[in-house]
Amino acid sequence: MKSSILYLLTVVLCLSSECQLHAQTFISVTGYVRDHDSREPLPYASVKIEDGQGAYANRLGFFAVDLPTGNHQITVSYAGYKVIQVEGIFAADTSLECFLVQGPSIDTVEIEAMGGAANSVLHRLHITQEFLTSLPALGSEADPLRALMVLPGISTGTEESADLVVRGGGRDQNLFLIDGAPLYMAGHALNFLSLFQGGLVQGIDLYTGYQPPQYGGRLSSVIDMTFREGNRTRLQGKMQLGLITSQGILEGPIGKQKRTSFLIGVRSTYLELFGIGRQAEVEDRSTLEDDSYLVYGFSDAHAKITHYTTKNIRLYLHAYGGRDRLKMLRSTPGDFESNRNFIGNVAISAGAAGQLGTKGWWEAGTFYVTQQQRDDALAQSFSWESIPPPPQFFARAPTIVYTLLSENSSMFRTRIKDFGAKVLFQGSLNHNWAIKGGGELIVRHYEPGDLQLESRVFPGDTVSRNVITGVAPNAQEQVLFLENNLVLSPSFQLDVGLRGEHWLAGKQNFLRLSPRVRLGWEKNHWTGQLSYTRAYQYQHALLRPTERQDLIVWIPATEGLLPQQSDQISVALGYQAGATPWSIHVEAYMKEMAHLTMLFSDPLAIDWFATWSEGLLREGEGRAFGVELWAFWKKERLSITGAYTLAWSERRFDDLNQGNWFPDWYDRRHQLTLTGIWRLSDTWTSYAIWNLASGRRTNLPQGIVPENPYSFGYTASGTLNQDRLPLYHRLDLGLAWNKPLENGNSWGMRVDLYNAYNRLNVSSVYVVNSLNDQGKEVLTLKGRALLPIIPSLTFSYQF
Amino acid sequence: MNRSNTCLLVVFLSLLLSCELETDVNLDLPPFEPAWSLVGFVGPGSPIELSIQAILPPQTGIQTDMPPPLAEGEIFVDGKRKLSFLPSNDSLIQLPPLVLTAGQRVHLHIQLANGDSIVSEEDIIPEKAWLSSASYSFEDSSENVIHLDWDLGDKPQTGYLAVKLVKIDSLGSALSLDETYRLASPFGPLSDVDNFPPSGRFSFHRFEPTNLSQSSPLSGAWILLYSLSETSYAFFQSLNLYDFTYGDIYQQQIPVYTNLSNKLGLFGAYQVDSLYVPFE
């Protein structure tokens, strides 16, 4: 890795020597690109001058372009909108406000670069709201995270999971930001759906390779979601009624000056309502038969207010709250058990942003995030007596009288709370040199777990209580970062950045520097990129390798538990055809990770959150490399996207696999995703996604080692993760109908088929022990397949 | 809502409610290849035991062949042959102790009658660890619970440690010496010395049965402190990891560590220190 860095720096120095500055007079043209109807910003809109030079707007639609004085034609464009052109003589610094009108475009994901015009290479994927709401999805839910999984280099942890595994990283190594607030989980319980309604998200920035220095704290990826501001010109809304969830969005202006807007979104499941009667039956135990009941539900709500001052300073306040409920009841004549799980997420963020000086930019924000889980369990034992009914004309069931003998209850709670603030400044020292810098302060409060146990024995009501508490120190994180964006020549741009991080947990200090370097190149329709990113992660997740886990308990890097570290080099090449609408990008990466952890505590131990240190494997290493291919083609009403990844991912822990390298559990060699969107007419659109991927890694039993004086009998299964689950493939289909009404409102209906040909994809394997005719123990291998064909239907009304 | 929409809704709702979210499918087991498992440990002054067994095919669980007779077995110390043993059909082979010192390298070579061989990687005899004290501290007469404390003292220790309790009943001869000293899990604490507790306590019922006696009250107990080689530690630690993950459908089972050429079992080194605590 070190030699690679030296080579990269050598290349940079050589290119710098060829850099030429031209003696011309430049002026700055700044402004905003916004939607004409709603006045919402259009992120990363393209602003080009006649020679192809120019800039992209930032996440909030602000742009700044340096031009030589003189006559120029400026072209402003954005996917799905009509292009506008501004022509005139530019003799002094100028400010523009560009309002784009929606056009009949079906552009999907834009692949573009951030910053100056000298590069347009894939290092950040920006996913528009239109794209993520147009894909077929589970339960007809436009799901932002599932939309990311059609991109190369990204796969799920397990099939039923909205967890992301990016370029060989871990499920806990992705940074999810919603309007600047970092979330600890992105999916609702069981991870079938992500925490956000797709209709509220304006766009998602995804960084899997080069991470700009303003981002940090996670090794694998950054998923920066910006939520919409709401329509500033008129009140509008959308109601959606589906089989699994229903949701509503309401947005509009506040006041008559059209400077303030609000956006509210609520969503809830209602499967629980159908089961109220069944729940009562199980709780009553009115019959002497075994009975059980399981129900799951969630609800979430977003609210956002955005205000633009007279000086065009943007102020916002965003609040999110979500709650998941899982209830399991089981009764037998002698026992009753109930488990109720709650997961709650809250994220509140507020911030301001605006132009700084003639063409600079600043942002400031603060956030509060909390995540908690509570598990309540109750186990009761009864004696019972069946009292026959009195003789009468109509036979009645006997009355069952229960007497409570004992009762064991427990309440477990785990929580993490973060409070932070961040500032960012961006400006130009000259037209070839821009800088971006800032700082961040985060205070983190950890409560790994608190378990209260209570036992009662009747008669007499003898009570015993016990409390187990997991402890982890609180932490502070202070960050300073700086990035230089240098235009070396009309074809080359160099981004050089450094992120300095100080972490304090208990009495343990860590001071780390994360260098980030990116060399971008553009010539005609070709683009290229070479980048290096070092990242540190100061939090460890108590994760068992393949366990489907609804909530992760986080602990800080502290004494004896070093921060995770990654170094990644990536090289990319892209071609964007001019006249024909197709593009292709290829990117290769190599990543090394250090100080990884993995939990192997007894899953049945009730105090695992307090004794995690005993079961935590530390100082693990990881390495991943691969090639990603991304192609896009569009013709009239049809667009097709293809993503293919060829990848390797390995891990090494001293206490696993005899200290040798082994394939990671999520090491999928091949992964192919084909996405098609076909607009059949102005009212009908059809969608399809086909996934094909190598099966996840596993171990299959090869023999039984009999019990001996030194060990219990166990299953022999070769080296760790040497086998694979069967090939994974799945087709999702969708059909949407949208009928505009004369008054501007519209009706919509959407039909989706998840896993259309009902492929039983195995997500985990297990062995069944049984005795054969000779009384010998034999094993049968079973695979558990989740999520068969699932139809869904949604009606919507938009006003 | 018109009739067609109602029909569509009913059809989809019926399909959705009929979906089984979890389905089990049968998978093929990998082809079985006959193999042999061997587990044995060697320590200075301790009798050597080797347990050799045929691996059972998972599909049938039936031992298709009798264990092939042992053609020849040899134990090497620092590359030199120190002990040879004769053919045997027993699954448990008992050999006399060897004179060994810490730092010496040991390995095993076994030739099976069918031509197969089992060869271990070299293991290093670890430094001995020392128990400072072990004492019978308290008996809760109402519950008949005995507490037994042990302490490592201040003497520096190295390597990987494991502590074990062996209970002796009032007959006094409940356990043979070999079995008392046999290195086998489950242990109390097991970890590298940096994370090993300097002292600890075993709590148990006075009338808990020993291996051989079901009812006699206990008369005393051995506290055994094992110093494990890195290889032996890895074996027992991987057994723990395997046990943690066994039977959990959502967890991957962890293969058990091996240092043998056929990838099944272990030939490892250890030393042991012991203290006997009589119960009054």
> Tokens at residue B160, please?
């990987």
CA distances from A790 to A548, A786, A787, A793 (A): 21, 11, 7, 10
A720 in contact with B, Cβ within 8 Å = yes
pLDDT at B177: 47
Q: Could you tell me if A708 lies within 8 Å of chain B, comparing CB atoms?
A: yes
Whether A748 has its CB under 8 Å from any CB of chain B: the answer is: no
The fraction of chain A above a pLDDT of 70, given in percent, is: 88
Closest CA–CA distance from residue A712 to any residue of chain B (Å): 9
Looking at every residue in chain B, the average pLDDT score rounds to 79
> Do the Cβ atoms of A424 and A372 come closer than 8 Å?
no
For residues A164 and A145, is the Cβ–Cβ distance under 8 A? yes
The Cα A481–Cα A214 span in angstroms is 6
B32 contacts A702? CB cut-off 8 A? yes
Q: In Å, how far is A695's CA from the nearest CA of chain B?
A: 14
A39 in Cβ contact with A105 (< 8 Å): no
Distance CA A226, CA A129 (A): 10
Q: Does B115 touch chain A (CB under 8 A)?
A: no
Chain B positions in Cβ-Cβ contact with residue A737 (cut-off 8 Å): none
How far apart (Å, rounded) are the C-alpha atoms in residues A127 and A108?
A: 8
Inspect the interface and report whether the beta carbons of B37 and A716 lie closer than 8 Å: yes
- Residue A770 has a pLDDT of 74
Whole-number Å distance between alpha carbons of B191 and A210: 40
- Residue indicated by tokens 């007419």: A681
Give the pLDDT band (50/70/90) at residue A602: low
Distance from CA of B150 to the nearest CA of A (A): 20
How many helices (H) and strands (E) would you count in chain B? 3, 16
Q: What is the ipTM of this complex?
A: 0.84
Distance CA B241, CA A711 (A): 13
> Are B21 and A546 an interchain contact pair (Cβ–Cβ within 8 Å)?
no
Kindly report which listed range (A459-468, A773-782, B32-41) carries the lowest average pLDDT score. A773-782
| Structure confidence at residue A270 as a pLDDT band (50, 70, 90) | confident
Q: Residue A530 has what pLDDT?
A: 95
Average pLDDT, rounded, for chain A: 84
pLDDT of residue B103: 94
Q: List, as ranges, residues 68-107 from B with C-beta within 8 Å of A.
A: 91-92
Residue B215: pLDDT band with limits 50, 70, 90: low
pLDDT band at residue A278, thresholds of 50, 70 and 90?
confident
- Spatial neighbors of B168 by CB under 8 A, at least 6 apart, are B174, B175, B210, B218, B219, B220, B221, B222, B276
Closest to A759 measured CA to CA, from B11, B26, B23? B23
Query: Is the Cα torsion angle A196, A199, A201, A207 positive or negative in sign?
Result: positive
Distance in angstroms (rounded) separating the CA atoms of residues B129 and B225: 7
Most confident of A262-266, A309-313, A709-713, B154-158: A262-266
Contact B153, B129 (CB under 8 A): no
Range name among A305-314, B188-197, B268-277 with the lowest pLDDT average: B188-197
* Contact by Cβ (8 Å): B84, B71: no
pLDDT of residue A81: 86
Tokens at residue A766, please? Answer: 């297990």
Q: Span A386-405, mean pLDDT?
A: 73
Q: Please give the Cα distance from A544 to A158 (Å, whole number).
A: 13
Give me the residues paired with residue A625 across strands. Answer: A590, A648
B163 vs B176: CA distance, rounded Å: 19
Quick check: B6 pLDDT over 90?
no
Kindly report, residue by residue over A40-56, the tens digit of the pLDDT.
Answer: 999 888 888 877 677 88
| A319-323, A489-493, A782-786 — most confident range | A319-323
pLDDT at A623: 97
Convert the pLDDT of each residue in A459-491 to its tens digit.
877 888 889 998 899 999 999 999 999 999 888
> What is the spatial distance between Cα A171 and Cα A158, in angstroms, rounded to a whole number?
10
Confidence check: pLDDT of B181 > 70: no
Q: DSSP string of B78-116?
A: TTEEEEEE-----SEEEE------TT-EEEEEEEETTS-
Residues A577-594: pLDDT tens digits? 766 678 899 999 999 999
Q: Are strands A26-35 and A94-100 parallel, antiparallel or unpaired?
A: parallel
Measured distance CA(A572)–CA(A208) in Å, rounded: 12
**Considering only CB atoms, which chain B residues are within 8 Å of A464?**
none
pLDDT band at A515 (very low <50, low <70, confident <90, very high): very high
How many angstroms separate the CA atoms of B53 and B91, rounded?
6
pLDDT digits (tens, 9 = 90+) for B68-120: 666 788 899 998 888 888 766 677 888 888 899 999 999 999 887 778 888 99
Average pLDDT for A668-679:
91
In chain B, the percentage of residues whose pLDDT exceeds 90 is 18
A-chain residue closest to B260, CA distance = A658
- B258: contact with A, CB 8 A cutoff: yes
* 3-class SS of residue A370: strand
Q: So what's the pLDDT on residue A111? A: 37
- Say whether residue A454 is in contact with chain B using an 8 A CB cutoff: no
Q: Three-state SS string across A404-471, please?
A: EEEEEEEEEEEEEEEEEEEEEEEEEEECCEEEEEEEEEEEEEEEEEEEEEEEEECCCCEEEEEEEEEC
Secondary-structure breakdown of chain A: helix, strand, coil percentages, each rounded to the nearest 5: 5, 60, 35
Contacting residues of A for B122, CB less than 8 Å apart: none
The alpha helices in A247-397, defined as continuous H runs, are: 271-274, 276-284
The residue whose two tokens read 């696993």 is A656
> What ranges make up the beta strands (E) of A600-727?
616-635, 638-652, 662-663, 670-679, 684-693, 697-698, 703-705, 714-716, 723-724
Which comes out higher in pLDDT, residue A215 or B6? A215
Residue corresponding to tokens 């008129």: A234
pLDDT value at residue A193: 73
Q: Write down the pLDDT at residue A137.
A: 64
Of B191 and A161, more confident: B191
Q: Are B221 and B168 in contact (CB under 8 A)?
A: yes
pLDDT of residue A702: 83
Place of tokens 């860095």: A5
> Is A406's pLDDT higher than 60?
yes
Nearest CA to CA, how far is B48 from chain A (Å)?
A: 12
pLDDT greater than 50 at residue A115: no
Map tokens 């006399």 to a residue.
Answer: B96
**Sequence-distant (≥ 6) Cβ neighbours of residue A398 within 8 angstroms:** A386, A387, A388, A389
Of B20, B201, B256, the closest CA to residue A707 belongs to: B256
pLDDT greater than 90 at residue A250: yes
Question: Burial code of A646-666, b = ≥16 C-beta within 10 A, e = fewer?
Answer: bbebbbbbbbbbbeeebbbbb
Of A546, A703, A777, the CB nearest to B252: A546
Does residue B45 have a pLDDT over 50?
yes
Tell me which residue in B16, B41, B255 faces A717 most closely, judged by beta carbons: B255
B24 touches chain A (CB under 8 A): yes
CB-based contact, A709 to chain B, within 8 Å: yes
Q: How confident is the model at residue A395 (pLDDT cuts 50, 70, 90)?
A: low
Contact yes or no for A593/A626 (Cβ under 8 A): no
Say if CB B181 and CB B274 are below 8 A apart.
yes
Tokens found for residue A136: 């077929």
User: CA distances (Å), A268 to each of A192, A321, A463, in order?
Assistant: 14, 12, 40
How many angstroms separate the CA of residue B50 from the nearest CA in chain A? Answer: 9
Residue A327 has pLDDT above 70, yes or no: yes
- Which range, of A80-89, A229-238, B18-27, B191-200, averages the lowest pLDDT? B18-27
* pLDDT at residue B228 is higher than 50: yes
Where does the pLDDT of residue B172 fall: very low under 50, low under 70, confident under 90, or very high at 90 and above? Answer: low
- Rg, chain A, Cα only: 29
